[in-house]
Amino acid sequence: MSRLFALALTAGALVFAASSDGNKCTEFSPCSREGYCDANAMFCMWDLCDPTKSYNATSCWQPEGCLDQTIEFDSSSDVVPIRQYSGNPNTNALVSIFEPDNSKIENGKLVLDMTYDSAQDKGFGTTVHSSHSFQYGTVTARIKSASIAKGVVSAFIIRSDQVGDEIDFEWVGKNPNSVETNVFYHDILNYSNSRYFDIGDTSAEYHDYTIVWDPDFIQWAVDGKTLRTFKREETYNKANDEYRFPAAEGRVGLSIWDGGNSGPKGTEEWAGTPTPWTPNTVYQMFVESITIKCSGSNPASSDTAEPQSSTIANSDSSSSSSSSSSSSSNANETTNEATDTSGDETSDSKPSDNGDSDSKSSSGGDSGNEGTDSVSLASSSSSSGTDIESGSEEQTEGNESPAPSNTGEPVAPSGTGETAVPSGTGETAVPSATDAPTESTVPGQKCKVVTIVRPL
């Protein structure tokens, strides 16, 4: 997913968290996300917050647990921008995790917009995550995809950003009649895990898309008809003596992003390219309802009825941020027989979207992340880097391990010493070693500005 992050930093308010020498956040800004620190939901929310770089073991918020619920989008409070999120999952069912926020509730539906970003010459989309965590159970979302033009990607996923486990439905504008089902374990790229199904024009009508996640199998269904069953017993990797089957607690997510103008060749070929844009073009994904039924071991407790918070030693410490921020097969039940036999795959980077928080290559030879994602920090001048898209199923070759979007894949920026507020649509920022901070003046405050590029 393609994301533009605009981050404004108040000097001294945010503290640089992660670096090669193992520095952590301070008690004043205890939560680490993508190598930067602060004390609000954008940084402290579970699975976005990196506990290894945060101030202490209790800095990151705890997983909220699963809650049986049906969200019908009859209230504007069903989705909230992350900066306005109090930490109480019972107040807001979904959180829009990047800025600017392109989500809205309109006529009883959740609408995720992707608009044209002239500065990046590509689309700027949206990622929303469930405010309750989720591990095993059934999720059904009634969706009309945004597949009205090549390059436009819509996604419905269950994902753990910190671990890299993911189960998804995705739709690409290149094949509007097709829906892709896929699964990832620890962000390891395995092309054999993907399956496509022709179900008719996914952008013209609503369909009920269901994911059943059990400790021993995963099923995908459309309108009550099972398309595919993926079994844990078929994922054993002898070289690593492990089952490569998603098991980590995560969140339910929905997103729209620009795969056609992402940059990586494999992603663009998968999504269709180029994505057609005019200054006034808006692509929209519609969600009529989401039903979550839990069967895991971590149900929501009464403790989540109160907002979560992180301990801050000095309440006067504050921060300010300004933001600008898959071949087709029939719909008969299919059992996935492919197992990954390689023990040395590199891991895929995602965040956006991605939500992500959270792209594909058309062949095993092409690799890269889906789309591009840049972070610009409210500056009068900013350095440039190569955009890498996150929130996808694509990965870099060799031994490179970019951090994940769509989606909790922190990577420490190199040598900037600055703190940034992630604001975009689902990718993790991977700063360039040449990115140097500059200072600019914002009325009433002194800002440090850093430009970073992140894959998701």
Question: Is 181's pLDDT higher than 80?
Answer: yes
Compute the average pLDDT of residues 97-117.
96
Average pLDDT, integer, range 258-272? 93
Query: What pLDDT does residue 302 have?
Result: 55
Reported as a pLDDT band with limits 50, 70 and 90, residue 439 is very low
pLDDT band for position 298 (cuts 50, 70, 90): confident
Residues 6+ apart with CB under 8 A from 67: 89, 90, 132, 292, 294, 299, 300
Q: In terms of pLDDT, which residue wins out, 84 or 21?
A: 84
Alpha helices, H only, 38-111: 41-44
pLDDT grade for 310, boundaries at 50, 70 and 90: low
Mean pLDDT of the chain: 72
Better-scored residue on pLDDT, 209 or 347 = 209
pLDDT mean over 227-235 = 98
Residue 145's pLDDT band (boundaries 50, 70, 90)?
A: very high
pLDDT at 266 over 60: yes
Higher-confidence residue of 19 and 279: namely 279
87-101: average pLDDT: 95
The answer, yes or no, to whether residue 371 has pLDDT greater than 80, is no
pLDDT digits (tens, 9 = 90+) for 351-362: 333 333 333 433
Mean pLDDT of 159-188: 97
Phi, psi (5° rounding) for residue 12? 85, -15
pLDDT band at 301 (very low <50, low <70, confident <90, very high): low
> What radius of gyration do the chain's Cα atoms show?
20
Whether pLDDT at 212 is above 80: yes
Tokens found for residue 252: 């339910």
Instruction: Specify the pLDDT at position 191.
Output: 87
**Higher-pLDDT residue of 379, 275:** 275
Q: Stretch 213-218: mean pLDDT, rounded?
A: 98
- Interval 18-48: pLDDT, tens: 432 368 999 999 999 999 999 999 999 999 9
Nearest Cα to 18, choosing from 436, 423, 409?
409
pLDDT of 308: 73
Listing DSSP states for 196-214 in one string gives EEE-S-TTTS-EEEEEEEE
**What integer pLDDT is reported at residue 299 of this predicted model?**
82
Q: What is the Cα–Cα distance from 152 to 171, expressed in whole angstroms? A: 8
The pair of structure tokens assigned to 419 is 């703190």
Among 131-140, 233-242, 291-300, 405-414, the least confident range: 405-414
Those residues whose C-beta lies under 8 Å from the C-beta of residue 23, and which sit 6 or more positions away, are 16, 17
Give the per-residue pLDDT at 307.
Answer: 65
Q: How confident is the model at residue 300 (pLDDT cuts 50, 70, 90)?
A: confident
Q: Where are the beta strands (DSSP E) in 173-258?
A: 178-184, 195-198, 207-214, 217-222, 225-231, 236-237, 242-243, 251-258
For every residue of 367-388, DSSP letters joined together read ---SS-EEEE-S-SS-------
How much is the pLDDT for 416?
Answer: 34
